[in-house]
């Protein structure tokens, strides 16, 4: 199949998918809209995390740090100072990408790699959680609550509103982040990311400034994750250190991109579509059966199945089925 | 072009390179030869910045580059291949070469065109879209060379790129190197095949157990008794 036909198919199927998502709130109620929004948030963080792991080759197990801080920044600015999230989001992005740069700087500057880098990211996230659990200003373990939405609320100003509002807002954010990341991984920077991912020393021998390139991945990934956290805060209305900064959060967010396919742009989206509903079902089944942690067991099983059956993830497999894959020999870098 | 002064590398207990100095003139081909474990690759690593020397200096274009990172050295025009080949295994052959070309241009299409040209010059056009992980040994060697060429080096350092190649493939590389030399590129190569070394190099440096034992024109070096005894003689006996 020629390249342009493949591209046309990709655009066509992508548009249909987007159209369905745009029309879906007309036929599903608030409960499902909220669940779909959770899928979008999971996909958004997955896209960001995958930028670091799948494209630049850095394993972060502490993305809760950026998610949680992004959430708290947006929530605190809105609640304590009455500032619009229109301001909160940019500040949240700057703060979290700054944190990503700091963690990255410490890791890359001192040659902390692989598993040790992952431990470093966990340490930072856990430190932040402990700090927030003992910090009066952010409400300690008691959490932070956003006041209820006022009757004269104007969603486009407060960025708060109904389930339908969040649905479209987070969908737009995710779409934007997806397009941005798609642009980045195809750019010169994207080539350098994949080069350092595959072999950092060989990349440096080709003149790739590995340190800077790695830092950029960490900063951008962290910033996007912070934005996702901000939407979570607005939508949820309450934040607890454990629920946004906890270790569980970091782990939950990496399941989707792994299941969907590392180093692919659509993998995190497909992964979120699989993982979030499954998690929801397992939670309900667990409650009904009195089996706590059934969802974790399910995650484990799902990961196991994927690793055995489709080690590259579900997306490359599905893309092949839909005849969406580009050059079959190269890695699934397609959308 | 390149001048190394008293380079020394000690690995816990072992002196891999001991007080080695030599230079390579602009537009010339210099060969670094010696038995296995003589310290040739270690020398390369110090020149390219992959390994920090225990002692000594590396001068490139009259600048001391001893403290510079490998990527900075590459930016200055010093490019190397790895003896143990290091393809970027998750990328296509073309993308591998493009990474090198993107050092000198920000345009993907310019880099893509240059990469295709370089692949053509080493006879790898048909492999351009294949995964770098799927290549055979000779193709991997060619890819190493192509990647290094893509960075447009002034000094090209080749670590046994012709080892394990068939005569015809080696000839292709020899032709590429001759063209490069004609265009003013300086080449430093590690090579075991004496026939190629003798036909290409203006200057030969012989290492043995980390020490330089000879340095001169090919005819002088092959007549040097120490070289015959320690390297050529043994090879002759083995053949
Ligand atoms: N990283 C290292 N740590 C410890 N010893 C090393 C290291 N790298 C090389 N050596 C040792 O240094 C010596 C020189 O090795 P080097 O690879 O430079 O030899 P070479 O001349 O390239 O040999 P060959 O012809 O086999 O490629 C060898 O004894 C080798 O075992
Ligand atoms: Mg060697």
Which of B49, B65, B70 would you mutate first to test chain A, the one with the most A CBs within 10 A?
Answer: B70
- Phi, psi (degrees; rounded to nearest 5) at B18: -125, 105
DSSP string, B198-213: HHH-SEEEEEETTEEE
Q: Which of A194, A204, A207 sits opposite B91 (nearest CB)?
A: A194
Contacts of A277 (CB under 8 A, 6+ apart): A35, A39
DSSP A184-252: HHHSHHHHHHHHHHH-HHHHHHTT--HHHHHHHHHHHHHHHHHHHHHHHHHHH-EE-HHHHHSHHHHHH
Minimum CA distance residue for ligand 1 atom 29: B37
At A145, is the secondary structure helix, strand, or coil? Answer: strand
Q: What distance in angstroms lies between residue A165's CA and the mean position of ligand 1's atoms?
A: 64
Question: How much is the pLDDT for B22?
Answer: 96
Separation between Cα atoms, residue A38 and residue A1, nearest integer Å: 36
Count the Cβ atoms, other than its own, within 10 Å of residue A84: 14
Cβ neighbors of A56 (< 8 A, separation 6 or more) are A193, A194, A196, A197, A213, A214, A217, A218
Nearest CA in chain A to B157: A205
The residue whose CA is least distant from atom 4 of ligand 1 is B11
CA distances from A238 to A88, A222, B113 (A): 16, 22, 54
A208 to chain B, any CB pair closer than 8 A? The answer is yes
Quick one: which ligand is closest to B207's CA? 1
B239, pLDDT greater than 70: no
Instruction: State pTM to two decimals.
Output: 0.91
Atom of ligand 1 nearest to the CA of B51: 1
Nearest CA in chain A to B108: A188
Compare all CA atoms of chain B with the CA of A326 and give the residue at the minimum distance: B129
Ligand 1 center–CA A162 separation, angstroms? 67
Question: Which residue has better confidence, A176 or B228?
Answer: A176
The residue whose two tokens read 């991984």 is A185
Residue B83 in contact with ligand 1 by CB distance below 6 A: yes
- Which of A202, A210, A329 is nearest residue B88 as measured by Cβ atoms? A202
Q: Is the CB of B46 under 6 A from ligand 1?
A: no
Name the A residues in 313-332 with CB < 8 Å from any B CB: 327, 329-331
pLDDT recorded at residue B235: 54
Interface test with A, best of B44, B51, B71 (most A CBs within 10 A): B71
* CA nearest neighbour of B194 among B176, B219, B229, B158: B219
Q: Is B126 on the interface with A (CB under 8 A)?
A: no
Domains, chain A, with CATH or none: 3-330 (1.10.3470)
Query: Which has the closest alpha carbon to A193: B95, B210, B229?
Result: B95
- Name the CA radius of gyration of chain A, rounded: 20
Q: Which of B37, B44, B50, B209 to mutate to test the pocket of ligand 1 (most atoms within 8 A of CB)?
A: B37
* Rounded distance from Cα B2 to ligand 1 centre (Å): 22
For chains A and B, what is the number of CB pairs under 8 angstroms? 91
Structural domains of chain B sorted by starting position, each given as residue range(s) with its CATH number in brackets? 2-238 (3.40.50.300)
Select from A109, A187, A316, A330 the residue whose CB has the most chain B CBs within 10 Å, as the one to mutate to test that interface.
A330
Determine if ligand 1 sits within 6 Å of the CB of residue B16: yes
**C-alpha span between B91 and B207 (Å, rounded):** 36
> Ligand 1, closest atom to CA B43?
18
Ranges of chain A whose pLDDT falls below 50: 1, 327-335
Ligand 2 centroid distance, CA of A88 (Å): 56
Cα angle A174, A180, A186 (rounded to 5 degrees) comes to 135
Q: What is the ipTM of this complex?
A: 0.92
Of A295 and B87, more confident: B87
For ligand 1, say whether the CB of B66 is within 6 Å of any of its atoms: no
- Burial class (CB within 10 angstroms; exposed 0-12, middle 13-18, buried 19+) of A217: buried
Query: Ligand 1 atom closest to Cα of B45?
Result: 18
Gap between the terminal Cα atoms of chain B: 36
In this structure, the number of other CB atoms found within 10 A of the CB of residue A303 comes to 14
Nearest residue on chain B to A312, alpha-carbon basis: B90
Q: How far apart are CA A333 and CA A266, in angstroms?
A: 10
Instruction: Estimate to the nearest angstrom the gap between the alpha carbon of A53 and the chain centroid.
Output: 12
Task: Please report the pLDDT score of residue A159 as a whole number.
Answer: 84
Greater pLDDT, B125 or A155? B125
């Amino acid at each position: 199949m020629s390249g342009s036909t493949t591209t046309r198919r990709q655009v066509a199927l992508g548009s249909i998918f987007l159209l369905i998502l745009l029309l879906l709130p007309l036929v599903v109620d608030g409960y499902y809209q909220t669940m779909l929004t959770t899928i979008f948030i999971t996909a958004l963080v997955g896209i960001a995390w995958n930028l670091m792991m799948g494209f630049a080759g850095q394993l972060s197990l502490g993305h809760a740090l950026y998610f949680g801080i992004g959430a708290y920044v947006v929530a605190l600015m809105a609640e304590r100072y009455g500032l619009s999230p229109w301001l909160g989001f940019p500040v949240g992005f700057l703060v979290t990408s700054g944190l990503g740069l700091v963690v990255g700087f410490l890791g890359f500057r001192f040659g902390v790699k692989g598993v040790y880098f992952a431990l470093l990211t966990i340490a930072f996230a856990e430190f932040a959680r402990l700090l927030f659990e003992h910090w009066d200003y952010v409400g300690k373990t008691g959490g932070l609550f956003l006041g209820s939405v006022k009757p004269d609320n104007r969603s486009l100003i407060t960025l708060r509103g109904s389930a339908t509002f969040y649905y479209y807002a987070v969908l737009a954010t995710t779409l934007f982040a997806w397009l941005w990341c798609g642009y980045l991984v195809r750019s010169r920077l994207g080539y350098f990311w994949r080069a350092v991912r595959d072999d950092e020393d060989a990349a440096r021998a080709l003149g790739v400034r590995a340190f800077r390139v790695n830092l950029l991945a960490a900063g951008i990934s962290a910033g996007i994750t912070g934005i996702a956290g901000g939407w979570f805060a607005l939508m949820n209305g309450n934040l607890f250190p454990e629920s946004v900064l906890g270790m569980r959060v970091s782990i939950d967010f990496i399941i989707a991109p792994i299941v969907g396919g590392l180093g692919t742009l659509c993998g995190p989206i497909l992964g979120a579509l699989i993982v979030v509903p499954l998690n929801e079902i397992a939670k309900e089944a667990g409650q009904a059966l009195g089996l706590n942690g059934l969802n974790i067991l399910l995650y484990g099983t799902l990961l196991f199945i994927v690793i055995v059956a489709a080690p590259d993830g579900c997306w490359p497999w599905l893309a092949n089925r839909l005849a969406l894959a580009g050059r079959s020999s190269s890695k699934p870098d397609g959308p | 072009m390149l001048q190394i002064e008293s380079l020394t590398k000690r690995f816990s207990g072992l002196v891999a390179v001991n007080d080695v100095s030599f230079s390579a003139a602009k537009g010339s081909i210099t060969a670094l030869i010696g038995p296995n474990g003589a310290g040739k690759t270690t020398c390369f690593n110090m020149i390219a910045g992959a390994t920090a020397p225990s002692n000594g200096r590396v001068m490139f274009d009259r600048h001391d580059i001893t403290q510079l990172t490998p990527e900075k050295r590459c930016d200055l025009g010093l490019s190397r291949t790895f003896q143990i080949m290091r393809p970027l295994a998750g990328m296509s052959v073309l993308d591998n070469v493009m990474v090198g070309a993107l050092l000198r241009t920000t345009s993907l299409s310019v880099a893509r065109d240059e990469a295709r040209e370089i692949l053509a010059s080493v006879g790898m056009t048909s492999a351009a879209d294949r995964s770098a992980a799927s290549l055979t040994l000779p193709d991997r060697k060619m890819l190493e060379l192509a990647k290094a060429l893509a960075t447009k080096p002034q000094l090209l350092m080749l670590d046994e790129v012709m080892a394990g190649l068939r005569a015809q493939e080696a000839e292709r590389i020899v032709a590429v190197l001759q063209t490069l030399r004609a265009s003013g590129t300086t080449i430093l190569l590690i090579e075991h095949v004496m026939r190629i070394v003798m036909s290409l190099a203006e200057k030969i440096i012989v290492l043995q157990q980390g020490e330089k034992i000879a340095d001169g024109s090919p005819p002088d070096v092959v007549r040097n008794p120490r070289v015959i005894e320690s390297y050529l003689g043994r090879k002759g006996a083995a053949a």
